[in-house]
Amino acid sequence: MERYKQEFIEFMVDCQVLKFGDFVTKSGRKTPFFVNTGFYRTGSQLKRLGGYYAEAIKGKFGLDFDVLFGPAYKGIPLSVTASIAIADKFSKDVKYCSNRKEVKDHGDTGILLGSPINDGDKVVIIEDVTTAGTSINETLPIIKAQGNVEPVGLVVSVDRMERGQGEKSALAEIEEKYGLKTTAIVTMAEVVEHLYNREYKGKVIIDDALKSAIDDYYDKYGVK
């Protein structure tokens, strides 16, 4: 596993973004782990987060694209910090863009904020965690309405590696339905690999009991 992935897993633990216990997802699934990206709350945290996204984007898609699009609302700061990180790390200046929930009819009018999307632009979409496709259903029409543009792919922070609407993973369903490449900074398999029975800051984060609970969860909701 690449070093930046290991650092990102520990970073999530430090920021209390990645938690273990008893939770219920939006879809009603009882889960022993939860990812809440709302806990990235400081400038230094967002700066580091952007760097991890930049590494994942370059590793999967390269740097031959023009716009980093972050759907409102969580995608807005992600598109900003990741575009800054790409400039700092790789000396590539990409545009950032997001949508508004409501169309603005005065001043900087329209549905977009940040850079406009122009004919011929290649666009990478950036989100927080694996979606079931709901956000993409809303995002792609907005992007494609801007002209003859090419959606290149989707990057998220964590792939939960569980079934989406059918038997495939949510990211695999997005790839199949929309023809988009997808990637994540880390998968939950990598999280477990890095933290299982390994002491971090004086504590074992994933012990045998928690590992068993995670395995049971994937037996029920994981990709077959």
pLDDT digits (tens, 9 = 90+) for 30-54: 999 999 998 999 999 999 999 999 9
Q: Which residues are known to be catalytic?
A: 104, 106
Residue 223: CA count within 13 A, CB half-sphere: 13
Q: Provide the pLDDT for residue 183.
A: 96
Q: Provide the pLDDT for residue 103.
A: 66
Q: Using CA atoms, how far apart are residues 109 and 131, in angstroms rounded to an integer?
A: 29
Name the one residue in this structure whose structure tokens are 């219920």: 24
Check residue 25 and give left, alpha or beta (phi > 0: left; psi -120 to 50: alpha): beta
Q: At what angle do helices 3-14 and 188-195 cross, to 10 degrees?
A: 80
Q: Provide the pLDDT for residue 164.
A: 77
pLDDT tens by residue, the chain, 224 residues: 999 999 999 999 999 999 999 998 877 889 999 999 989 999 999 999 999 999 999 999 999 999 999 999 899 999 999 999 999 999 999 999 999 876 656 545 578 889 999 999 999 999 998 756 667 888 999 999 999 999 999 999 999 998 877 878 888 888 998 899 999 999 999 999 999 999 999 999 999 999 999 999 999 988 87
Q: Provide the pLDDT for residue 48.
A: 98
Q: Provide the pLDDT for residue 46.
A: 97
Q: Provide the pLDDT for residue 137.
A: 82
Q: Provide the pLDDT for residue 131.
A: 56
Is the separation of the CB atoms in 163 and 108 below 8 Å?
A: no
Q: Provide the pLDDT for residue 129.
A: 85
Q: Provide the pLDDT for residue 27.
A: 74
Please spell the DSSP secondary structure of the chain, one letter per residue.
Answer: --HHHHHHHHHHHHTT-EEEEEEE-TTS-EEEEEE-GGG--SHHHHHHHHHHHHHHHHHHHTT--SEEEE-TTTHHHHHHHHHHHHHHHH----EEEEEEEEEE-SSS-EEEEES---TT-EEEEE-SB---SHHHHHHHHHHHTTSS-EEEEEEEEEE--BB-SSSSBHHHHHHHHH--EEEEEEEHHHHHHHHBT-EETTEESB-HHHHHHHHHHHHHHB--
Q: Provide the pLDDT for residue 133.
A: 62
Dihedrals phi, psi of 8, to nearest 5 degrees: -65, -40
